[in-house]
Amino acid sequence: MIDATIALIGFALLIGLMALGLHVAFVMFAISILGAVMYLGMPATLEFGTQYWGATNNFVLVAIPLFVLLGELLVRGGFTDRMYESLGDWLSPLPGGLLHTNIGTSAMFAAVSGSSVATAATISTVALPAFRERHYNQRLVLGS
């Protein structure tokens, strides 16, 4: 089949299945598998499992829980609170200073821990209470 035809069929299925009320993630997964079968054929599509396993079976990924543990230890020890407050004192004169504090603290902690997952988990536990007590818009805060 022509590539444009496959794309149009996929888009029509996407709109149709979402109009039926199916979940977006399920619809996109099903259409991507169907498109891969139509475009690549079944033998190539069966190779996806092997490729996925090869990408996730990586020894480096073992370190992520340890980075999260490091972040939790720093939160419990009070280091992140002190770091957040000191950076907040420097950046409070700026408009939206607490948002800048959030980004600066995230950058500092990411440089120390080396993991964006650990940084997000750690800084959010420190930053969200500070934002709530100052009545910041939660949607704006979670975006920073």
Residues 66-105 have pLDDT tens digits of: 877 887 888 788 887 788 788 888 888 888 788 888 888 8
- Each domain of the chain, given as residue ranges in start order, spans 3-57, 61-143
77 neighbors 126 (Cβ within 8 angstroms): no
Residues 44-53 have pLDDT tens digits of: 778 887 887 8
Compute the distance between CA of residue 35 and CA of residue 115 in angstroms, rounded to an integer.
35
What predicted TM-score, i.e. pTM, was given to this entire model? 0.48
CB-CB neighbours of 27 under 10 Å: 17
98 neighbors 130 (Cβ within 8 angstroms): yes
Among positive and negative, which fits the CA dihedral 140, 84, 106, 73? Answer: negative
Confidence of residue 26 (pLDDT cuts 50, 70, 90): very high
